[in-house]
Structure 1
Amino acid sequence: MKPGLPSSAERSDARRPALWLLRHRNGSVAALTLIAVALHLALRFGFRSQPRLYDAPLLLALGAGGLPLIVELGRKAIRREFGSDLLAGISILTSLCLGEYLAGSIIVLMLSGGEFLESFAMGQASSVLRALAKRMPSSVHRKAPSGLEEVSFSAVRIGDQVVVFPHETCPVDGVVVEGHGEMDEAYLTGEPFRIRKTVGTSVLSGAINGESALTVRATRLAEDSRYAKIMAVMARAEQERPRLRRLADTLAVYYTPAAIALAGATWLFTGQPVRFLAVLVIATPCPLILAIPVAIIGAISLCARRSIIVRTPAALEQVSQCRTAFFDKTGTLTYGKPRLTELSVAEGFSRRKVLKVAAGLEHYSKHPLARAILAAARKEGIAPPEASEVREPPGQGLTGVVEGLQVRITGRSQLTGAEIEEAKLPPSSGGLECILWIGGRYAAACRFRDAPRRESRSFVAHLGPKHQFHRTILVSGDRESEVRYLAEQVGIREIHAGQTPEEKLTLVRKETARVKTIYVGDGINDAPAMMAATVGMAIGQNADVTAEAADVVCLENSLRKIDEFLHISRRMRRIALQSGVGGMLLSLCGMLIAAGGRLTPVEGAIAQELIDILAIGNALRAALPPRTLHDV
C-alpha cells in the first residue's frame, strides 16, 4: 500500500455512512410522503381547511421526493436512458403543473417504497456475512514490555504478539508462538470442526479459541486480514444492483412508449390534460417497480431458511438461463472425506510407527487426507503424539517434528528425481496419494479413495431434463485416472484433469463467452473460475476466498442445496414475471377506462394502488416454500 493512502478497511469505514444514507433515503421519503398524505386528508376532510393549507404537506412531499426524481430523470434522458420510472417522473411533473398534488404524492410514495424495497433486498444479500463481521473484537490484548495492553483492532502491526483468551474470537491472521489448544473454524467450513493449534501453526481471524490461551504473532495487517476481506464482500454486495430489476426496464421499453402514446392521444382528441394525467398515473409501472424487488426479497429469505446464502441477487435470475455446469471434484461431487485404503511401508519401519508419526503431524492440518490418516490411527487404537514446528506451505506438503524426528508428508510430484530414485516408490495407481518421510528417509506411501456423494449420480442425471443444462463438465487438479474414475461413477462424460487454477479460469471464460455457465466448487483454487462463471456457487464454505468469489454459498455440504437453489430461482423468476406482466395488463385496462373519462387522476392513483396490492400479494409467494424444492 502506498504511503499516505487510506487502507481498504478505512475506505470501507468511510463509505459505510454513505451506504447507510443511500439505503435509508428512500425509506425516509416514503415515510414522509405517507405522513404528508395522511395530514392532507385530515386537514381537507377533518378540519375543512383552505386549499393552501391542506396542500402544503403534499407540496413538501413532492419537493422532497418528486423533484430529485425529475432531476435524475432529466440526467438519464440526456444519456438516453429510459427505464421503468420514466412514466412516474412524467406523471409527477404533470401533476405539479395541473395542481393534482395528491395524485403526484401517491406516485412518489409508490416509487420511494419500491426503491427502498430494492435496497433492502441488497442488504439481505450480505446479512449473514455482516453477522460474522460483528463477531470480531473491537480491542486486542497486545503484549508489551510492561505487560498486556488493550489496543484497538486497527492498531495491530505485523510482528505484534497478541494473546487470545479462552473462548475469544481470534482478531488476527498469524502464527502461534506460545501455548497449545484448539480453534473452531466452523465459520469457514460450515461444520463444527476443531483444529489443534501448537507453536508454529497458523491461525485465522474470526476463528473461536478453545479452552487454552494462545499467544499469536500477527502476520498480516488489519486491512489484509480475513476480517477485512469479509467487510469488502459486504460492501460489494450492498452496492450491486439486482439484474432482475433491469428486466423491469426491459419490459418498460415496450410499455412506456405505448402508455405515453395512449395518454397523448387522449389529450389530443379530448383536449383535456387531466385525462392525460389520469392515464399516466394508472399507467405508472409500479408492479415492475414494487413487485419484482418483493419477489427478490422473498426468494433470498427462502434461500436463507434453507441454509443458502445469496450474495448476488442477480444470480437468482441468471441461473435459470445457464446451460453449462462446471463441477469441482473433491468435496463437491465427493464427500471430501477420503479413506486410507493402502499403506505401503518401507523397510525399516513398522505400520504402527508410521501411522503414529503421521497422525501426530496431521493433527494440525485441515487437509482432507489428514482426517483419513487420523481415522485410520483411531481405528487401530493409536493416540497421536504432540508435534512442534509445524509448517504447511501451500502446495509443498506438511512438515514438523514428532517424537524428536523430522517428519515430512508430501505428494509424489513434489519429490526431486533423486528422492524418487532413493525411495523406490511403488507404481502410481488410481486414487489419491501422499508420501511420508521420517528422519530424512522414505517411510511409506499412503493411498486413499474419496467416495462420490450418494446423490451425485442422480443429481447429474437430472440437470438436463429438469433444468435444461446442455453440458456437464468435471474439472479437477487431480490425476486423470482419478478424475475419470469419479466421472464414470457419477455419469459425467466430459472431464478436464490436472487443471491448475489458471487453466480452470481459461476453460470457464471460454465457455462463458459462448453460453451462460454455473461453476460449483469448494476450494480456494476454485475461486478464479467461480468468478469467471455467470453464477459461482460455493458448497460448504471451506475457504473465505471461495465464499468471497461465489454469488451463492450453500452452508450445507449437499448437492441437494444446489438443486433447491435452482428450483427457488426458477420459481422466483416465474412469480416476478407474473406479477410484473399481470400488473401491466391490469394497468392497461385502467388506462383505457381513464382515457374514456371514467377515472380522475386521484382515482387512477388509488386504482394503481389496488393493482400494486394484487401484484405484491402474488410476489410474496416467492417467500413461501412449495411442497417440494428438489428432484434428487
Structure 2
Amino acid sequence: MDHTGADRFKTAILLLAVIGLVTGLALRVAGQDRLADLAWFAGVTPALVALVVEILRSIGRGEVGLDIVAALSMTAALTFGETLAAAVVAVMYSGGTFLESFAEGRARREMHALLSRVPRIATRHRNGGLEEVPLDALAPGDRLLIRQGDVVPVDGTVAADLAFLDTSALTGESLPVRLARGADAMSGSTNAGEAFDLVATHRAAESTYAGIVRLVEQAQRSKAPMSRLADRWSLGFLAVTLTIATAAWWATGDPIRAVAVLVVATPCPLILAVPVALVAGLSRAAHFGVLIKGAGPLETMARIRTLILDKTGTLTDGRPQIVSIDSHDGVGEAEILRLAAALDQASKHPVAQAIVAAAKARGFALPVPSEVAEIPGEGVVGRVDGRTVIVGGEGFVAKRVGRQSGDHPAMAAGSVLVAVAIDGRLAGHLVMSDPLREGAGAMLDGLRREGIARILLATGDRANVAEHVTEGLGLDGLRAGLTPDQKVLLVLTERKNGPVMMVGDGVNDAPALAAADVGVAMGARGAAASAEAADVVLLVDRIDRLGPGIEIARRSRRIAVESVVAGIGLSVLGMVAAAFGYLTPVQGALLQEVIDVAVILNALRALRINPAEATTAGALSPASAT
C-alpha cells in the first residue's frame, strides 16, 4: 500500500472510531446504555482488527512491537465491560497513528518539494529556432534556453554574460547566485533573472539534480536505528506493563485495575517520537544543502567522535590558482598568460583549465591554437597567433629550449610551477597553488564545538605539501602519501576512538567513505563513485556545510531521546497511579492521549532547528562574495 492509500486507510479507521465514540456518548446521555455499549463496540472493532492484522504481519517479519499493548488494552476493556474506555483507546490509538503519519508527511514536505520540481521538458535551440524536447533527448553540447522562472534541467555552463540562479531549494542559500559566462550551473536551480542560454555538459540522468532525487528517494525508504532499538526496548516495556497490570489485579482482585494499567501504557511514545524527529532532521538538513541518505546515517552522524578529511578538493579548493607571474626577457605578464591560456584550451588537465579560467576572468580573448601536441602529465606544445608556444613543467620546457631546469625562488611547498616558452625562449613562469578553503580554520573550530574530538588529514600528496597547506589549523594528525587502501586502514584504526566520519571527493576516496561509519562526499564537483559510496552528500562545493549538518543530526537525535524519555516516564507514572486506583480506564486513556500528542509535537521541533554555524557558513559562501 502506498503512502496515499495508507493515509486514507488510517483516516477511515480514525473516523469510524470517532463516530462510534460520539454516538455512544450521545446514546448514554439519552439513557440508552445498551445501545451506547453497542456503538462503542462497533467503533472499536475496525481499529482492533486492523491492529491485530498489523501485529501478525510484524510477527511474520520477526518484529515484536508495542502495538501488542494497545491490542491487549482494547481486548481487556471489551472483555470486562469497559466499552467506553475501549472506545477512547481506539480513538487514541488510531488518532496517534494518524497524527504520526501527518507529522512525517509534514517533515517530508521539503523533500517532496524537491522531487516535484523535476522538469519534464526543456527548450532547445535547433536550426535557428526553438523546440520543446523531453529531458531524455538532451545530450552534452545542446544549447538550451532557460526562461525566467524555469528550473535548470541539466548541468551545464552559462552561455550568456550574466545569469542569476536561485539555488535555495538545493543549498538553502537565500540570495540568488550571480554566474558569469562559462560558469557551471547546477540542475535543479531556478532562473531568478532574465532568460539565458545554457550549454549542457551532462545528460539529464547524469546531472546533479537527478542524483539528488535518487538519494532523496533512498532516504525516504530508510528506517532509523533508534526505531529498531525502540522495537527491542518494546519487549522490556511490555514486560513491565504486564507485570504492573498483573500485580494490580492479583493484589486487589479487581480486573479493572489491570485494564486501567494497560490503557495508560498504550501506545508508547517510542513508536511515535523517534521516526518523526529523525525524518524532520533529514528534511531540515536538506534545507541547508546536506543530503543525508536516511535516518540511519543521521543517527550515526550525531555520535561522530573522529573526523578524517581528504585534502585536495575537500580541505583545499581543488582548483589551482595563479599566485604570481614571473616574466623573463621583457615579455609582459599579460602576454605570457594570454598565450599560455590559449594553448591550454586544448588540454583537460586541471592546471591547464585553471590557467584558462584565470585568463578569461581577466577578459582576455583567447585565439584557437593549432598543431597541438600534448604529452600527458608533462606539458603541451603548439602554435598560437603564428608563434610556437610550450607550456608545462619546468623540466619539460627547459629540455625543449636548451636550458637547465632549477629551483624557482618563488616556489613554496604546495605550489606548482608552470613554465612558458615562446618561439624557443623561456618567457616566464606561472606560480600556482591549491589554496586552503576560505574559513577552513573557523569551520574546524565549529566542528570541535560540536563534539568532534579528533580531526585528521588523510592525503595522497607529499608530507611537506600537506604540512604547508594545513599549517596553523591545529589538526590532531596528518597522514600523507596514502593509497586508497591505506586510507581505509586509517579509518578502521581510528574506530577505537569512537564512530568515524570520512570526508572526500575523489574516486580514490570512495573505499574509505564506504568503510567509515559515516562517509561524506562533496557532491557538487566530486566523483560519482564517492557520492554513491557516501552516506551524506554536500550538495554544494562547500565544506562549511558539514558543521550545520552535524549540529542538526545531534539536535534531532537529542529531541528524539528527550521525547522518548519524557513519554516513557509519564507512562510509567500513569501506570503506577492506575495500579493504585487513582485512574479509571477512561481517565488513563485520556492521559495517554495527552502524552502521545505532547511527544509528537516535541519531536516536530526538529523542523525548526536553526544551526548556529549556518550564519557563519553563509558568510563563507562564494555566492555571498559576488
Deviation at residue 282 of structure 1 after TM alignment: 0.8
Q: 2:93 aligns with which of 102, 108, 123?
A: 108
Identity of aligned residues (%): 29
Deviation at residue 551 of structure 1 after TM alignment: 2.5
Tell me the residue number matched to 1:577: 561
Decide whether aligned partners of structure 1 residues 256 and 369 sit closer, same or farther in structure 2, where only a CA change above 3 A counts.
farther
Deviation at residue 495 of structure 1 after TM alignment: 2.0
Decide whether aligned partners of structure 1 residues 368 and 196 sit closer, same or farther in structure 2, where only a CA change above 3 A counts.
farther
Tell me the residue number matched to 2:364: 384
Decide whether aligned partners of structure 1 residues 157 and 211 sit closer, same or farther in structure 2, where only a CA change above 3 A counts.
closer
- Which residues of 2 match residues 27-176 of structure 1 at below 5 A? 28=11, 32=15, 35-36=18-19, 39-40=22-23, 43-44=26-27, 51-52=34-35, 55-56=38-39, 59=42, 62-63=45-46, 65-78=47-60, 80-95=62-77, 97-98=79-80, 100=83, 101-113=86-98, 115-116=100-101, 119-120=104-105, 123-124=108-109, 127=110, 130-141=112-123, 149-154=131-136, 156=137, 163-164=144-145, 169-172=151-154
| Partner Cα separation in structure 1 for residue 561 and residue 298 of structure 2 | 13
Decide whether aligned partners of structure 1 residues 143 and 491 sit closer, same or farther in structure 2, where only a CA change above 3 A counts.
closer
Q: Tell me the secondary structure at the aligned position of residue 177 of structure 2.
A: coil
Tell me the residue number matched to 1:280: 262
- Which residues of 2 match residues 259-298 of structure 1 at below 5 A? 259-296=241-278
Tell me the residue number matched to 2:573: 589
Decide whether aligned partners of structure 1 residues 147 and 33 sit closer, same or farther in structure 2, where only a CA change above 3 A counts.
same
Question: Does the 8 A contact of 1:432 with 1:447 survive in 2?
Answer: yes
| Partner Cα separation in structure 2 for residue 133 and residue 578 of structure 1 | 31
Deviation at residue 248 of structure 1 after TM alignment: 2.6
Decide whether aligned partners of structure 1 residues 523 and 108 sit closer, same or farther in structure 2, where only a CA change above 3 A counts.
same
| Partner Cα separation in structure 2 for residue 528 and residue 186 of structure 1 | 34
After TM superposition, the structure 1 stretch with the greater mean CA deviation from structure 2, 611-620 or 599-608, is 611-620
Decide whether aligned partners of structure 1 residues 218 and 619 sit closer, same or farther in structure 2, where only a CA change above 3 A counts.
closer
Question: Does the 8 A contact of 2:124 with 2:132 survive in 1?
Answer: yes
Deviation at residue 326 of structure 1 after TM alignment: 1.0
- Which residues of 2 match residues 477-488 of structure 1 at below 5 A? 477-488=460-471
| Partner Cα separation in structure 2 for residue 542 and residue 280 of structure 1 | 56
Decide whether aligned partners of structure 1 residues 148 and 61 sit closer, same or farther in structure 2, where only a CA change above 3 A counts.
farther
| Partner Cα separation in structure 2 for residue 606 and residue 568 of structure 1 | 33
Question: Does the 8 A contact of 1:173 with 1:204 survive in 2?
Answer: yes
Tell me the residue number matched to 2:181: 196
| Partner Cα separation in structure 2 for residue 214 and residue 401 of structure 1 | 32
> Aligned pair 1:611/2:595, yes or no?
yes
Question: Does the 8 A contact of 2:156 with 2:186 survive in 1?
Answer: yes
Counterpart AA for 2:413: G
Decide whether aligned partners of structure 1 residues 577 and 50 sit closer, same or farther in structure 2, where only a CA change above 3 A counts.
same
Question: Does the 8 A contact of 2:446 with 2:547 survive in 1?
Answer: no
Counterpart AA for 1:433: V
Q: Tell me the secondary structure at the aligned position of residue 416 of structure 2.
A: strand
Tell me the residue number matched to 1:319: 301
Q: Tell me the secondary structure at the aligned position of residue 430 of structure 2.
A: strand
| Partner Cα separation in structure 2 for residue 630 and residue 143 of structure 1 | 40
Deviation at residue 608 of structure 1 after TM alignment: 0.8
Deviation at residue 122 of structure 1 after TM alignment: 6.4
Question: Does the 8 A contact of 1:472 with 1:494 survive in 2?
Answer: yes
| Partner Cα separation in structure 2 for residue 332 and residue 218 of structure 1 | 23
Question: Does the 8 A contact of 2:264 with 2:571 survive in 1?
Answer: yes
Deviation at residue 433 of structure 1 after TM alignment: 2.1
Question: Does the 8 A contact of 2:343 with 2:383 survive in 1?
Answer: yes
Q: Deviations over 1:357-404 (max 9, x none)?
A: 4556889999699668756886xxx5221466999x9x9799999965
| Partner Cα separation in structure 1 for residue 138 and residue 443 of structure 2 | 48
Q: Deviations over 1:152-197 (max 9, x none)?
A: 334x276895643555555456899xx7767778758878253634
Counterpart AA for 2:464: S
Deviation at residue 325 of structure 1 after TM alignment: 0.7
Question: Does the 8 A contact of 1:292 with 1:580 survive in 2?
Answer: yes
| Partner Cα separation in structure 2 for residue 439 and residue 230 of structure 1 | 47
Question: Does the 8 A contact of 1:333 with 1:453 survive in 2?
Answer: yes
| Partner Cα separation in structure 2 for residue 432 and residue 404 of structure 1 | 30
Count, aligned residues: 594
Tell me the residue number matched to 1:490: 473
Tell me the residue number matched to 1:519: 502
TM-score by length of 2: 0.74
Counterpart AA for 1:582: A
Counterpart AA for 1:28: T
Deviation at residue 474 of structure 1 after TM alignment: 0.7
Counterpart AA for 1:152: P
Decide whether aligned partners of structure 1 residues 225 and 20 sit closer, same or farther in structure 2, where only a CA change above 3 A counts.
farther
| Partner Cα separation in structure 1 for residue 223 and residue 5 of structure 2 | 13
Deviation at residue 590 of structure 1 after TM alignment: 1.5
| Partner Cα separation in structure 2 for residue 401 and residue 261 of structure 1 | 87
Decide whether aligned partners of structure 1 residues 370 and 148 sit closer, same or farther in structure 2, where only a CA change above 3 A counts.
closer
Decide whether aligned partners of structure 1 residues 203 and 249 sit closer, same or farther in structure 2, where only a CA change above 3 A counts.
same
Question: Does the 8 A contact of 1:263 with 1:277 survive in 2?
Answer: yes
Deviation at residue 236 of structure 1 after TM alignment: 0.2
| Partner Cα separation in structure 1 for residue 140 and residue 263 of structure 2 | 65
> Aligned pair 1:446/2:427, yes or no?
no
| Partner Cα separation in structure 1 for residue 386 and residue 162 of structure 2 | 23
Question: Does the 8 A contact of 1:452 with 1:490 survive in 2?
Answer: no
Deviation at residue 447 of structure 1 after TM alignment: 2.6
| Partner Cα separation in structure 1 for residue 186 and residue 551 of structure 2 | 35
Decide whether aligned partners of structure 1 residues 410 and 577 sit closer, same or farther in structure 2, where only a CA change above 3 A counts.
farther
Question: Does the 8 A contact of 2:58 with 2:64 survive in 1?
Answer: yes
Which stretches in structure 2 are left out of the alignment for 5+ residues?
617-626
Counterpart AA for 1:291: A
